[in-house]
Amino acid sequence: MTAPAPRRPRRLLATGAALLLALPLTAALFGPLLAPLVTPADGAPYARGGGHPLGTDGMGRDVLGLLLRGGPSALGVATGAVALAYLLGGSLGLAAAASRHKAVDEILMRPVEILLPLPSLLVISVVGVGWRGQPLAIALTVAALNAPAVARLVRAAALDAAGSPVAEAMRMQGESRSRVLFGLLGRAVLPVAAADIGTRIATAVFTVAAANFLGLGMEPTSADWGVTVAGSREALLVQPWAVCAPAAMLVMFTVGLNLLADRLLAPAAEAGTAARAGRALAVRTQKAPK
């Protein structure tokens, strides 16, 4: 197969992914500002028309208004949680990979492996007993659940570069520790992390939405997309918009992110060749001072 052939569908895929992501992201970012302008007063339950472009839900609230307000919690909690997981797990993984003492690596990574298979929705339900309705508690829980996996991934991605002749050469030339850590290891982790962040945020959005859907997360009156899908599901045929609109937002976001991550994975495979080229370069520089 020639090289240019698979590239075109891939670019098409990226455009599609960007288009899919655009709507839920816009709704989440600007929706809360827009909502007061377009939301009419409460109407009858499950009404269609009558000034409500998407009708009303079981409590008579305007569906479009709910949709515009529900984004920040549906996407923000998950995104914040993954960011926190990378801050914690990423630094742990980098530290473990960079340490040249096996004991440090063991001490840092063993607890991570014990925590790795904890079922996420179970932990969320335990947390939900006491801290129901608090987005911060859910975000912290999801972050804590993701951090071990992130630490393992980052460590595995950085380990190759940490043992490479490039790292050795940098150390011998007296480069600072932070330059080795962030300049070399950080760069080696980047393509892997970029693809992982996409799928991880999508999964976190799933988890948070499922928790909200089950009533383990936000209050049942919240505008969150997961909560509103659960609240109106009995009226799926009477008022389909109340269920389909927030569900569509969630699906568009996760499908878009997964497509984007899939596209990012392909360059990550090519990055292997780049790393090998870098190693060859390092061998040359090592020889040069002679």
Q: Which residues bind another protein (CB under 8 A)?
A: 1, 109, 113-115, 117-123, 125-132, 152, 156, 202, 205-207, 209-210, 213-216, 226, 229-230, 233, 236-237, 243, 247, 250-251, 254-255, 257-259, 262
CA count, 13 A, side-chain hemisphere, 80: 14
Task: Report CA dihedral (239, 243, 246, 249) to the nearest 10 degrees.
Answer: -100
Of 248 and 271, nearer to another protein (C-beta) is 248
d(C-alpha 206, C-alpha 129), whole Å = 20
CB of 178 vs another protein, minimal distance in Å: 26
CB of 127 vs another protein, minimal distance in Å: 6
Of 116 and 281, nearer to another protein (C-beta) is 116
End-to-end CA distance of the chain, in Å?
Answer: 45
Of 54 and 96, nearer to another protein (C-beta) is 96
Of 123 and 194, nearer to another protein (C-beta) is 123
Report whether 207 contacts 124 (CB < 8 A). Answer: yes
CB of 131 vs another protein, minimal distance in Å: 8
CB of 114 vs another protein, minimal distance in Å: 5
CB of 270 vs another protein, minimal distance in Å: 16
Of 166 and 247, nearer to another protein (C-beta) is 247
CB of 210 vs another protein, minimal distance in Å: 5
Tell me which residue has tokens 């460590």.
155
Cβ neighbour number for residue 250 with a 10 Å cutoff: 23
d(C-alpha 73, C-alpha 264), whole Å = 26
CB of 228 vs another protein, minimal distance in Å: 12
Report whether 40 contacts 62 (CB < 8 A). Answer: yes
CB within 8 Å of 141: residues ≥ 6 apart: 81, 123, 124, 127
Of 144 and 181, nearer to another protein (C-beta) is 144
Of 39 and 212, nearer to another protein (C-beta) is 212
User: What Cα–Cα distance (Å) separates residue 198 from each residue in 17, 78, 185, 251?
Assistant: 11, 11, 20, 14
Q: Classify residue 62 by its DSSP letter.
A: B
